[in-house]
Amino acid sequence: MENQQKDTFISKYKKLVKEKGFFGAYFTLVLQSKVWGSVFRHGFSDTPKNRMLKIVSNVFLHLHPAKVKRHAPQFKFTWCMGGISFFLFLVLTVTGILLMFYYRPTVHDAYWDVKDLEYQVPFGALLRNLHRWAAHLMVITVWLHMFRVFATGSYKHPREFNWCVGVVLLVVTLLLSFTGYLLTWDQLGFWAVTVGTNMARSTPLLGHEGPFGEQLGMTSHNDIRFALLGGSLVGGNALLRAYVWHCIGLPIIISVFMMVHFWRIRKDGGISGPL
């Protein structure tokens, strides 16, 4: 009696394996399991309903609407530039976090940590290259995205506000790139940031060399450049400030604005198109 029951229990699986092969049986069992069903709540047959469920039952994919305008996925319309900018941002986040494991933002260590990344850390050079090139590429793709949005007139009603959100994204992208430039603490980054922040000296009213700055009591020790650098020279404080802005402040800001950007695309009626 007991033996018989066991037999049928095993033979059920035997039959399945015979029918679908080992992997086939394995996947069938996984897909039918309660665990799988609790995670993914849609079937896999290619029906319109499943197509929709795949998007709306997934928190990441439901950034998209379940259906889009016919021209929206076309490369010749969007140039893919918004999406690629976002993808590059994700790449930068992942590689950036990995870089943070090896990098200390102090005058004493920063440069040598980068050297270590290049020569000691396994795949460190690749990691650093990926982060650097993706950052440069993102600046370019964001510019191209802006140009595409302008050329298709997609900033017009009802997308005025999203265009402004985009301008903020553009500025923050540039600031992220700029703050990252200093972190290697080599001649290139150091002087680029020195040249860049020297401009802040001449901010009207707020800089000590700017129009009316002197009259308002600005000196090199209390003007806006001092606030940016945490000193009157690019030094350890500036490095730390660049680091904190680069790794925490600006990423949070850009994430918030991206959330608004993507949400507004949908609220503004999806991707623009001929009316």
Partner 1 sequence: MGNSEENKEKKGRYRTLVFIKGKTYAKEKDLDISEGEIATWPYLMRKELLAAIICTIVLIVWSILFNAPLEELSDPTMTPNPAKAPWYFLGLQEMLVYFDPWIAGVVFPMLIIAGLMIIPYVDFNPKGNGYFTFKETKFAMLTFCFGFHILWILLIIVGVFMRGPGWLWFWPWQEWDPHRVVAETNYDLTSFAGVKSDSFLGFMLGGAVVFGYFYAGISLPYRFLKRGKNMAIEKLGFVKYTIVAFLFLCMMALPIKVFLRLALHIKYIWVTPWFNI
- With CB under 6 A as the contact rule, the residue among 126, 167, 195, 248 that binds ligand HEM is 167
- 102 vs 163, which CB is nearer to ligand HEM? 163
- Nearest distance from residue 122's CB to partner 1, in Å? 14
Is 89 a binding residue for partner 1 by CB under 8 A? The answer is: no
Instruction: Supply 251's token pair.
Output: 């990423």
Q: Which does 230 bind (CB under 5 to 8 A by kind): ligand HEM, partner 1, none?
A: none
Tokens 């790794």 appear where?
A: 247
Tokens 């600006």, residue? Answer: 250
Q: How far is the CB of 196 from ligand HEM (least distance, A)?
A: 20
Q: Sort residue 21 into left (φ over 0), alpha (ψ -120 to 50) or beta.
A: left
Q: What's the closest the beta carbon of residue 81 comes to ligand HEM, in angstroms?
A: 6
Interaction between residue 97 and partner 1 (CB under 8 A) = no
Token digits of residue 81: 């530039």
Which 8-state DSSP code applies to residue 60? T
Q: Is 187 in the site for partner 1 (CB under 8 A)?
A: yes
CA distances from 153 to 74, 83, 137, 190 (A): 17, 18, 24, 40
Q: DSSP assignment of 81-110, as one string?
A: HHHHHHHHHHHHHHHHHHHHTT---STTTH
Residues in contact with partner 1, counted by CB under 8 A, come to a total of 94
Alpha carbons 228 and 248: distance in angstroms, whole number: 16
Pick between residue 5 and residue 45 the one whose CB is nearest to partner 1. 45
Chain positions contacting ligand HEM, by CB under 6 A: 78, 81-83, 85-86, 89, 142, 145-146, 149, 152, 154-155, 159, 162-163, 166-167, 169-170, 173, 258, 261, 265, 271-272
